[in-house]
Structure 1
Amino acid sequence: MQSDRTIEANFSLREEIKAYWSARAATFDLSPGHEIFSEDERSAWHELIGKKLGRGEGRRALDLASGTGVISHLMDDLGYSVTGIDWSESMLTLARAKAASRGRSIRFHLGDAENTMEADDSYDVIVTRHLVWTLVDPSACFREWLRVLKPGGKLLIIDGDFVNTSVAEKLVIRLAALLEKTGLVKTQAPHAPAAASDTHRSILSRVHFSGGARVDAVCRLLDEAGFSPVTSDTDLRQIHKAQASHLGYFKAVARGLQHRYAIVAEKQPR
C-alpha cells in the first residue's frame, strides 16, 4: 500500500507532467512527429491503424491524452466515432479549434488518462501515442483501460524508449552535431526550448519507465493487467520514412534507430 508521502510525490509529479504539456501546447503541432505534414505520412498512419484495429464503421474509439487531436483525426478518417480526452485545457482548446476548422465531429473533453471516469465496457478501441512513458502507475492505468474497453475490444499503444540511445544512434547524433558546427549541414531548429528540455529530462527521471519504456516490459504489464493476447510490432519504418523530409536527414536516421513500437492488447470476450 502506498504511503501518504509516496501518494503526495506521485501527485506532484503528475501535476508537473500536466503543466509541461500545457506549456508545450502552443508549439506542439510545429514538431514533425507530432502533427502530420504530408499525405504520405497520413497514409502510413492510416495503414498502421487499419492493420492493427481495422476500419471504424462507426465503432467507438477513445483517444487517451489526445493533445491537439492528431491521432483523433486519423481515427475519424477511418470511420471511428472518436472521443479524445486530455488533462490540459490548452491542448483541448487547440484540439477543438482544429476539429471545427476541418468540419469534424470529434468530441474532446477534460479527463485523466489514468482515471478516465468513463463507463465500464464503453469503447470498442482505445488508442494512445507517446503516453505510456509518462505514466506514474502503469499497472493501475492498464487495469483502468481494460475496464473501459468492451469485451473483445482492442488497445493500441504507440510509444518508445526515449531514454536509452544505441551506439549507432549516438554516432549519427555526433556526426550531425559535427557537420552543423562546421557549417556543412544546416542546423536543425530545436522542437522545444532549452528550459522545456530540462523539464522533460527531470520528469523522465521520475516516472515508472525512467529506465526506458521497452516493449517487453510494457507487454508484460499489460498481460498482468488482464489483457490477452498482447502482440507487438517494432517495424514503424513506413511512418519514419514519410516523416524524413520534415525531420532532416540525420534526425530521420536517428529516429529510425530508436526503439519505437506499436502494441495491440485485447480484452477477452465474455
Structure 2
Amino acid sequence: MNLASNFSLKDEIKAYWSERAATFDEQPGHEIFSEGERAAWQALFIRHLGRGEGRRAVDLACGTAVISHLLDDIGFRVTGIDWAEPMLERARCKAAARKRPIEFLLGDAEVTMEPDNSADVVTNRHLVWTLVDPAAAFREWHRILKPGGKLLIVDGDFVNPGPLSRLFSRLSALAQKLGLMAPDKRHGPGALGETHRSILSRVYFSNGARAEEVARLLTEAGFTDIRVDFDLKAIHRQQRKNFSLLKGLERATQHRYAISAVKPV
C-alpha cells in the first residue's frame, strides 16, 4: 500500500500545525504580548459581537487559545475546537493556569460535529486561508449557529501584497541579509517554511483570501448582514512594539480584515 496516497492535504495541514505548536506562542502576531494589544483585540470583538453575557462562542482552529481567552475575558462561554492535539495541550494548560472554564475539543473546523443551532457566536483567526473547501466550511458554520447568531472571521490575503507591503518586505529581507535584523522565523524551524509554501499553493485560496471573495462565499452559504472591516490599526499599532520597524510596517499594509456575518432568523 502506498501510504503517501492516503495522506491528504488536510492531513498535511494538521501535521504542519501540530509541529508549529511548540513555538507558536513565541511569535508576535500569534500570542498577545501586552495589555494594549489585548485591549485592541477585545475592542474589535466587542465592536462586532458585543459583550458575551454568557452567550456560547465556538472558537474554530483555536490553536493555543489566544482568541478563546479573549472571548472568555469579555463574557462568552467558550468552546475551542482544533484538530492539532499539541495545540490543544497548550490551550488546556493556559486555561488551567488562569482557572478558566474554557472547553477544548479535538475536531475539524470544516466538519465540527457540533449540534445544529448550538452556538451564539462562531469565531476564527487565520483559519480561512487554510481551508480546503471554504464553501462547505461556511455552510457548516451557518448550520451550528443559532438563528440570529454571528460569525466573525479575522484573516487576510498573504499572497498578494500591495506596493507598500512589498517594499517593506524587500527592505526587511535586505536588512536580514546584511545582519541588521534577526531572521524571520514566523513559520517555525527548519523545513516548515517550505511546508507552509507548499500548503499555501494547494488550498482553495492559493491565490489569496481576498475579503470580497470570502464575503461572496458567505452570501452563498446563507449569511446576511456581511460587514467587512479593514480598521485593524489599533491592533497593528500595538503589535509593532514586538516587531522590527520594517516587519511591523509590512504587516500593517497587508490586506488584513475582520468579516462579520449573521445567520438570518
What interval of TM-score do these two structures reach, taking the shorter chain for normalisation? over 0.9
1:143-158 alignment runs, 5 A limit? 143-158=139-154
Give the corresponding residue for 2:256. Answer: 260
Structure 1 residue 179: Cα displacement = 3.3
Give the corresponding residue for 2:48. Answer: 52
Counterpart among 27, 31, 34 of residue 35 in structure 1: 31
Distance 1:189 1:164 in 2: 19
Distance 1:214 1:10 in 2: 31
Give the corresponding residue for 2:128. Answer: 132
Counterpart among 56, 62, 68 of residue 58 in structure 2: 62
Q: Secondary structure at the match of 2:52?
A: coil
1:224-243 alignment runs, 5 A limit? 224-243=220-239
- 2:110 is the counterpart of 1:114: yes
Give the corresponding residue for 1:208. Answer: 204
Q: What do you get for the CA RMSD once the two structures are aligned?
A: 1.5
Change (3 A) 1:254 1:42: same
> Normalization by structure 1: what TM-score?
0.93
Equivalent residues, number: 261
Distance 1:180 1:87 in 2: 34
Change (3 A) 1:215 1:11: farther
Structure 1 residue 189: Cα displacement = 4.6
* Ranges in structure 1 where 5+ consecutive residues have no aligned partner: 1-7
Q: Secondary structure at the match of 2:257?
A: strand
Distance 2:133 2:6 in 1: 9
Give the corresponding residue for 1:3. Answer: none
Distance 2:30 2:85 in 1: 18
Q: Secondary structure at the match of 1:229?
A: strand
Give the corresponding residue for 1:219. Answer: 215
Structure 1 residue 11: Cα displacement = 6.8
Structure 1 residue 195: Cα displacement = 0.7
> Structure 2: which amino acid aligns with 1:165?
P
Counterpart among 8, 16, 19 of residue 20 in structure 1: 16
> Structure 1: which amino acid aligns with 2:213?
A
Structure 1 residue 30: Cα displacement = 0.4
* Ranges in structure 2 where 5+ consecutive residues have no aligned partner: none
Change (3 A) 1:77 1:193: same
Distance 1:10 1:138 in 2: 22
Distance 1:18 1:91 in 2: 10
> Structure 2: which amino acid aligns with 1:91?
M
- 2:166 is the counterpart of 1:170: yes
Structure 1 residue 180: Cα displacement = 3.8
Structure 1 residue 9: Cα displacement = 7.9
Distance 2:17 2:64 in 1: 11
> Normalization by structure 2: what TM-score?
0.95
- 2:181 is the counterpart of 1:186: yes
Structure 1 residue 134: Cα displacement = 0.5
CA offsets 1:227-262 (integer angstroms, 9 cap, x no match) = 011110111111011000111111000001100000
Q: Secondary structure at the match of 1:98?
A: helix
Change (3 A) 1:253 1:82: same
Between the two proteins, what is the percent identity of the paired residues?
61
Structure 1 residue 10: Cα displacement = 10
- State which drifts further: 163-172 or 78-87: 163-172
CA contact (8 A) 1:10 1:136 kept: no
User: After the TM superposition, which segments of 4 or more aligned residues of structure 1 sit over 4 Å from their partners?
Assistant: 8-11
